Amino acid sequence: MITFTVPPDYPEQKVRYFLASQGRVSSTLWKKIKWHGQLFINGQYINNAAKAIVRGNDIISYELAADSKLIPCNKPLNIIYEDDWLLIINKPAAQIIHPTNKACCDTTVNIIAGYYIKTAQKTGCHPVYRLDRNTTGLIIVAKQPQIQYYLTKSHDKICRFYKAFVSGHMHPKEAMFCEPIARKNTSIIEQMVSQTGKPALTRYNVLSEKDNYSLLNIRLYSGRTHQIRVHLSHAHHPLLGDDLYGGDCTLIKRQALHAYRIIFIHPITKKKFDISIPLPEDMLQLL
């Protein structure tokens, strides 16, 4: 159940317009609430959500039925944090987020579906962002679509930090990549820097250096496909292990990229979260 309180001096208006003005629901979510959900105002069930009016100090609550067609998978799930609205996990390498076809049933969301069954949770599975198959680290999963919408409507809702091992030594030691990114014309997977692409911002700073590779701290300011991998490859310092973008695979067999830290304000409790996890074993060995 999601609950909001209308500010005391808020003008009388339809509940739909109030929720939209607060950035809480998209038009798609509102339709789900209206036709398949339950809406309450001051604890009273509203039979006709489209005509419902709210006033200052009213308490609005709504709930959507969980509708999942995911095939549950009984594999381990590394849970970092969980409450009634969010699940934060540490994704391992060699695992994709969503199924790519009907036969694919061992993805992150399938494993979460299996976990929900084991813990008797009737809730949804809505990843707030994705990590590549061989990128490890923190993923936020919303249990309600409206929570996912709130956290994804603006990229600055979540500060995302990565650690990466790259070929060579970076100069300067701290900088921002600002090159736009687009899909490569000759590939359905590979991305490239292109002036016709979408804006992409990646900041890095060097943490340490070895003879022929470096450890970077990276912050994403946008979320393009393969963004970190493309920017580093374009700078002639590809990720170690990233064979798609020219990385050296002699020291590690997958791209050496780990989403180690997230900072965000909880959409319901308004508590600030700052969560960090250590490097996985294969990247620790590079230290």
Residue 120's CB: how many other CB atoms inside 10 A? 6
Token pair, residue 189, equals: 């997977």
Decide if 83 is catalytic: no
> What distance, in Å, lies between the first and last C-alpha atoms of the chain?
46
Question: Taking a C-beta distance cutoff of 8 angstroms, is the pair 225, 135 a contact?
Answer: no
Question: Taking a C-beta distance cutoff of 8 angstroms, is the pair 115, 127 a contact?
Answer: no
**Nearest-CA neighbor of 112 among 150, 158, 143?**
143
- Active-site position among 58, 132, 242, 248: 132
Any idea which residues carry the catalytic annotation? Answer: 132
